[in-house]
Structure 1
Amino acid sequence: MQTRNYLNVYKGPDALREYFNPEIAPPLPLVELPESLNPYHQDGVRIYAKMMTMHPANNVKAMPALNLLQHGVTPDKTKTVVEYSSGSTVISMAMISRVFHGLDDVHAFLSNKTTAAKLRLMQFFGLNITLFGGPSQPEPNDERGGIRAAYRLARESESVLNPDQYDNDLNWQSHVRWTGPQILEQLPEINLICAGMGTSGTMSGLGSFFKEQKSSVFRLGVCTAAGDRVPGPRSLALLAPVNFPWKSSVDHIEEVASHPSFSLSLQLCRNGIVSGPSSGFNLQGLFQFLEKRKREGTLAELAGDDGQIHCAFLCCDLPYQYIDEYFAKLGSEYFPAINNSELGEVDLYRYDSAWEKEPLAALADFYRVNNVLDRDILLFMCKRQSDERQGWEQILSPCSDTIIVDLRQPDDYDRFSLPGSVNFPLVQSGTPSPFSDPKVMVQLWKELEARLESNNEDICSRLRDKHSLIMCYDGDSARVATSVLRAKGYTADSTHGGIQAIEKMAPKVENYSGQQGFESYHGQSMSSVSH
């Protein structure tokens, strides 16, 4: 027996192997459920979750995968591993093949009814995937299914290993070797062990172990209710052709439906026991059994010397790859509503702080007068009426490769606007910021999208091949417009604070008009310049 590494620190060339090795790593946690999650607490029942998800491979199938490969891989001969698996087993095999045996070529044979999320998860872990039609859980001996296809592929080449989790006793023996001893060491007072039955390997192993080591332990197996489906476990009918010794390894079988399995899993997760639907499935099976014994008046018969009933169930999977199934199975009433959900379909493009410039920096980028821009002159011209500015816009117009687009209403544009800018009215004065009012964002973003969809739009032809500065009242609507324009391939910027920020900077010069007024003002004041 190897020494356990209770500090849980792994170093050196064998660090990963030791990390994955259940004989070296500390036992996987066994966590008692709080009273709020245990409806039978007042009946003297204590329930413990065996956190198989805390193995480095994050699922119960890591134990069989490790045992199968340890005894199946032939060094310098095995080049490929192929297994029919719904997910956890073959994902564990992929990691363990690399960590222990240096094998990268692992193939997953699985049902074409596997969810897209699970397929992507397998791709994420580097698995080569082959899909098969027919039942999602084929009988192990059905020559038309993927289980037998994996078997035949291995028979054709000595370099291919099919561990065959469905018919290889090393599957269930892994739980005799590791899982059972861990639980008994952690909870010597255990009275009941509960696990789901897919290949039946887990329950066959645990049931065999406790029959030998502590025969008083009640062994509860859990199967899927007929016609229903929970990821992983099988129905009792589908267990009939399985050759593992599951019948002699259980004292009772509960059949569990999918809805309470997902619901209990959700409840466990929200209370700190992060686990997937087959974990909730196991707990529901335990609840059903305890309730039957309570109604029969035989619950106390399960108690140990301390008068309590210590039950352990396996948490064997994680919820993340099944998130869509939780929503489909349970319905929206189980989940908090999303505020401002209407924003999920708009404002879809990126923002960049470099596109939102401070007013002076923006003006310096878009205006040049003999390479020197007199800020006060420019701001003074902003205050002139549009008909008074026309003559000056030849001098104070944006650079030739730029354009300034003002989204405000015409009356506001005529009162104060940047020389040489063009007016495309899109936003109203006093309208809330699109970042504070979702309805404003939705309307603005959809309007921008619609206007930019057609290349015949005047705005598109004006902006093409130009660096544009988008202006609005407070800068926020222009910021949204900049995001949309950038996503469509235009070069666009906005200003922080919009026209309001520029208006506050404008020189307080009144009663000047036309050329004479400008010359008089220009002679009196030449403030600091900005590029």
Structure 2
Amino acid sequence: MTEKMYDNIVEAIGNTPVVKLNRVSRFDGVNVYVKCEFMNPGGSIKDRIGWWLIEDAEKRGALKAGGTIVESTSGNTGFGLAIAAAIKGYHCVFVLPDKMSEEKIKNLRAFGARVIVTPTAVEPDDPRSYYSVSKRMAEETPNALYMDQYNNLANRDCHYHTTGPEILRQMPDIDVFIAGIGTGGTITGVGRYLKENKPGVEVVAVDPEGSIVEEVFRTGGHEQPAKTYVMEGIGEDFIPQNYDFDQYDDMVKVGDKETFLMTRELLVKEGIFAGMSSGAAVVGANRWIEAQGDRLKGKNILIVLPDSGNRYISKVYDDDWMLEMGFVESSSGTVEDLLHFLHKKPGEITMAGQHEKIGKVVEIMSEAGISQLPVADDNGWVKGIIREGALLKALFKEKSGADESINGLIDTAIEFVSPSDSVDKVSNLITQGKVPLVAEGGDSGKLLAIVTNIDVLNYLGTRKS
């Protein structure tokens, strides 16, 4: 990074630092470095292509003064385009899949952009996909251009002419370049430049499980159907025109869980606050390096870290989200552990019908020694619970008769959990005023048990003592 003054924020893009990894990638004799693209003004490597794509469109006459830029984006290209558009005076419409973080959506709107959110789990040619919606918006908006980072070859040209030379200046002894593959712009442009200017450099792409890219790379063109995955910014369900498989020497798959855990490790072990795709790139790099054996000793490897962790505070850096998604385990154990501690045998539970008489329910509670009772509707589905407090209020304050129905006294603030759910989840439900009901499958299946406040307090108190 240079010490100088700039005429505008775009001039500050690039020249991001290269930093050695010391704890999360430790291989004997192998030097592993990362390029910190999250230190660009807009927080990602996509800042580089924002200005470049707009300048290219202007030169081609495709974008007129005061026009509107439409783009399908996972968020970061939107930021890059929004920064450049703010300086040049263009309007922006961005279309994102609904799996993208709330931070990305809010930040794009902060630029004054119109943001449209579309379903994730649809085919690329589905009219609801973010590709299709973007094309339609560009067609329907006067003086608008669909930038199309996936098939716009100016994307990879930008990295060929800027990012590639920058990397070779910073790291003239580079031996391996590793990056996630999404639109293909970074890995194709940088890969081609490095191969042309430093023969022998290897280029390795990282692809998420669920994406079709690695299968196409291996099989020479046979596309397997894509599956849904959680990580953002890399992987595809089609092959963009920016791809050039001849530039890639190898490709490695990574999963969601290991990616998110590595993303967090980068922060706590290296002090690097990066996003999901950065964690994926490091996991993929580690897997590939380990598979090469001793041949990489003395080699220098560079991994691209595409964006900042501040885009994912509500996801990968949120303990509750990680727990809910099953990417981390609760230190408090599971509901099954709780039931075992309480000696509650699944299935031993008394229920009342929604039309049961108040007097009968009082009798059931008294005999069972319980203070609340699940209530089923006429079809046998659990509708809610009846509490002793509600019965007392009805009998003594509201002067209801013992032969009246409990139907109007039922509390429907219930939430189903499964035996595999965490006790933390149950605790959170209780603090929200809900009653956790344990059921098979966790979604109104066969009712197994009811968990009370004192159950959780006894369990947690014993564990912590």
Structure 1 CA distance, aligned partners of 2:68 and 2:3?
35
Conserved 8 A contact 2:322-2:328: no
- Look up the match of 2:172: 188
Give the stretch that moved more between structures: 70-79 or 189-198: 70-79
Q: How does 1:146-225 map to 2 (within 5 A)?
A: 146-155=130-139, 159-225=143-209
- Look up the match of 1:234: 235
Spell out, residue by residue over 1:249-305, the C-alpha distance to the aligned partner (whole angstroms, 9 max, x if none): 2110100001111111111112222211110100110001011112xxxx41x45xx
Structure 1 CA distance, aligned partners of 2:104 and 2:331?
25
Structure 1 CA distance, aligned partners of 2:143 and 2:65?
6
Which secondary structure does the structure 2 equivalent of 1:273 belong to?
A: coil
Give the C-alpha shift of residue 118 in structure 1. Answer: 2.9
Identity of aligned residues (%): 26
Give the C-alpha shift of residue 332 in structure 1. Answer: 9.1
Spell out, residue by residue over 1:351-372, the C-alpha distance to the aligned partner (whole angstroms, 9 max, x if none): xxxxxxxxxxxxxxxxxxxxxx
TM-score for both structures, normalised by structure 2: 0.61
Structure 2 CA distance, aligned partners of 1:259 and 1:173?
33
Q: How does 1:49-60 map to 2 (within 5 A)?
A: 49-60=34-45
Q: Kindly name which structure, 1 or 2, has the bigger radius of gyration based on alpha carbons.
A: 1
Q: 1 or 2 for the larger relative contact order (CA 8 Å, sep ≥6)?
A: 2
Structure 2 CA distance, aligned partners of 1:117 and 1:321?
5
Alpha-carbon distance change, 332 to 168 in structure 1, aligned in 2, over 3 angstroms: closer
- Look up the match of 1:389: none
Give the C-alpha shift of residue 196 in structure 1. Answer: 0.3
| Aligned partner of 2:121 among 132, 135, 146 | 135
Give the C-alpha shift of residue 86 in structure 1. Answer: 1.5
Q: How does 1:185-334 map to 2 (within 5 A)?
A: 185-226=169-210, 227=227, 228-234=229-235, 238-239=237-238, 241-270=239-268, 271-294=270-293, 299-300=294-295, 302=296, 308-326=298-316, 327=319, 328-329=321-322
Give the C-alpha shift of residue 170 in structure 1. Answer: 0.7
| Counterpart residue type for residue 245 of structure 1 | Y
| Counterpart residue type for residue 83 of structure 2 | M
Which secondary structure does the structure 2 equivalent of 1:324 belong to?
A: coil
Structure 2 CA distance, aligned partners of 1:262 and 1:248?
30
Spell out, residue by residue over 1:386-439, the C-alpha distance to the aligned partner (whole angstroms, 9 max, x if none): xxxxxxxxxxxxxxxxxxxxxxxxxxxxxxxxxxxxxxxxxxxxxxxxxxxxxx
Conserved 8 A contact 1:78-1:161: no
Which blocks of at least 5 consecutive residues in structure 2 are unaligned? 211-226, 333-430, 432-465
Instruction: Confirm whether residue 122 of structure 1 aligns to residue 116 of structure 2.
Output: no
Give the stretch that moved more between structures: 119-128 or 163-172: 119-128
Give the C-alpha shift of residue 56 in structure 1. Answer: 0.8
| Counterpart residue type for residue 11 of structure 2 | E
Conserved 8 A contact 1:196-1:233: yes
Spell out, residue by residue over 1:76-112, the C-alpha distance to the aligned partner (whole angstroms, 9 max, x if none): 534211111111111211111112x122x21111223
Conserved 8 A contact 2:254-2:283: yes
- Look up the match of 2:96: 110
Alpha-carbon distance change, 246 to 335 in structure 1, aligned in 2, over 3 angstroms: farther
Give the C-alpha shift of residue 19 in structure 1. Answer: 2.6
Conserved 8 A contact 1:204-1:245: yes
Which secondary structure does the structure 2 equivalent of 1:199 belong to?
A: coil
Instruction: Confirm whether residue 18 of structure 1 aligns to residue 8 of structure 2.
Output: no
TM-score for both structures, normalised by structure 1: 0.54
Conserved 8 A contact 1:198-1:232: yes
Give the C-alpha shift of residue 17 in structure 1. Answer: 4.0
Which secondary structure does the structure 2 equivalent of 1:98 belong to?
A: helix
Instruction: Confirm whether residue 48 of structure 1 aligns to residue 33 of structure 2.
Output: yes
